[in-house]
Chain A
């Protein structure tokens, strides 16, 4: 079966858009992606629209109201923090299956303010009674599991945040462009040890979109800037006796990564850059191992040796990551792909990863879903 390609992809600068609707934000990203592909709304044969907090208001149809109501099939997708990547994957499936030659994937989000999590509704609140279900705490616990096993330190976790904030100073579409030295990260307000405020992803609004096309259509449009989708893998959390008392983001990532590498016939050594799910600084280190960037227990050493910084052996989150670029749940997955596409096209400016041929994107939505995509310069 021929591979599918990304013919166009773009994102809005992540930030706060209180006066704009899901349809407007998603529609703007869709038009940017169509312009990038040199296509119009009449070329689009299907739309898959990802959103978490907009999922009750038919965000995909509202996108069509903004860009042209051509009557095509529209499917709204929601899969926690893996929503955007899941919408993209539906578009990929439609093209791979030969059902259409041009499918549009949009991820759009407007976020509520404050901390996410808090657990299910019960007769009395369980927060602070049976530990905490807040996201900063849940991911702190995952980090502390790693720390107990391998001696990973608060400082090593904090270095992730220093690195990603540094990367974001070169990304004009990131929410923040601000250096955060190690002392500042470690000295910031403690939220859930070891995650300080600067080690938590930024709660922002945003949208991103991608035009997925068949090989035939890609060749017709010209392969100069086309991105070949080498793998699209999606996993749900397999049985593990501690899960979901302790959400398991590790085995689900290992499962999706294994499938993606197998699909592409590639290994971690063949990848030139990675955008992974650094929803909290503690999470990034776990995924170095889950994605096979290093052996088990070596993630702390990797960050100490700057191997994942721009210019290092395998740069991770050169966009600034969720920690500084921002994390609008439904848009994040496609925004990660946009970042990788920029590098494969040699259009990433100051943060360009030299000679990037292949990139991997990864998102995890608690509950739990994990998507891994491998993209390659056509």
Chain B
């Protein structure tokens, strides 16, 4: 690789990942990192001391998760805690390589008529809805949107 390319390292002032399993490429592009058990190949988003599926302590291989998947289940949340804007769609999504994530389903009208389990979705990354920590730091979150949208 050309050492003089514009590859930039992330700065301490850059937005932080809103979940531990959101990682950044050297160029700054976010992605989801999965962990695969070296014994039974179960996939998850964290590294338990021993694999919760098989009990092995052989460790995990990291992999870059698929950014497409299908909607497994959802709810349209009409009432939440104080300060949380509603409605929003809480979605359980099975990514194509076996990881299951929960997140907001966006860019679709929040009605049971428009949302269909089994529909193809893709992962997008964006600012964490303007939410900042005590130091004013901003965060990057993932969202899901219909795969057909704008394709």
Contacts and interface: CB of A to CB of B under 8 A. Distances in A.
Q: Which applies to chain B's interface (DSSP): helix, strand, loop or mixed?
A: strand
Given A124-B128, A148-B118, A131 B103 contact: yes
A145 B71 CA distance: 10
A241 interface: yes
Interface string A238-250: 0101100110000
B14 to A, nearest CB: 15
A191 interface: yes
A134 interface: yes
Given A132-B77, A144-B74, A192-B78, A124 B90 contact: no
Interface stretch (B5-13, B23-31, B61-69, B80-88): B80-88
A115 interface: yes
A334 B1 CA distance: 67
B79 interface: yes
A333 B77 CA distance: 29
B73 A145 contact: yes
Question: In this complex, which of A132, A148, A154, A190 has the most chain B Cβ atoms within 10 angstroms of its Cβ?
Answer: A132
Interface in B71-118: 72-81, 83-86, 88-92, 94, 98, 100-104, 112, 117-118
Contacts, number: 133
B72 A242 contact: yes
A127 B84 contact: yes
B56 interface: no
A130 interface: yes
A124 B132 contact: yes
A190 B76 CA distance: 9
B141 interface: yes
B101 A141 contact: no
A140 interface: yes
Contact of B43 (A126, A147, A241): A241
Contacts of B85: 128
B72 to A, nearest CB: 7
B75 A245 contact: no
A38 interface: no
A62 B140 CA distance: 47
A304 interface: no
Nearest to A246: B92
B129 A128 contact: yes
Interface in A66-94: none
B77 A128 contact: yes
A190 B79 contact: yes
Contact of A192 (B45, B90, B102, B131): B90
Nearest to A239: B53
A242 B92 contact: yes
A193 interface: yes
A242 B43 CA distance: 10
B86 A124 contact: no
Given A245-B101, A246-B72, A246-B100, A130 B77 contact: no
A141 B133 contact: no
A242 B86 CA distance: 25
A129 interface: yes
A189 interface: yes
Nearest to B51: A239
A122 B102 CA distance: 16
A106 B131 CA distance: 43
A338 to B, nearest CB: 32
Contact of A131 (B52, B81, B91, B129): B91
Interface string A114-150: 1100100011111111111010110011101101100
Interface in A181-195: 189-195
A124 B102 contact: no
Contacts of B112: 154, 193-194
Contacts of A191: 77-79
A242 B94 contact: yes
B124 interface: no
B100 A245 contact: yes
Contacts of B118: 148
B133 A125 contact: no
Contact of A148 (B98, B101, B117): B117
A297 B100 CA distance: 23
Interface of A: 114-115, 118, 122-132, 134, 136-137, 140-142, 144-145, 147-148, 154, 189-195, 239, 241-242, 245-246
Interface of B: 16, 18-19, 42-45, 52-53, 72-81, 83-86, 88-92, 94, 98, 100-104, 112, 117-118, 128-129, 131-134, 137, 139, 141-142
What are the 6 tightest A-B residue pairs by CB atom distance, in nearest-first order? A131-B90, A148-B117, A140-B75, A128-B84, A193-B76, A145-B73
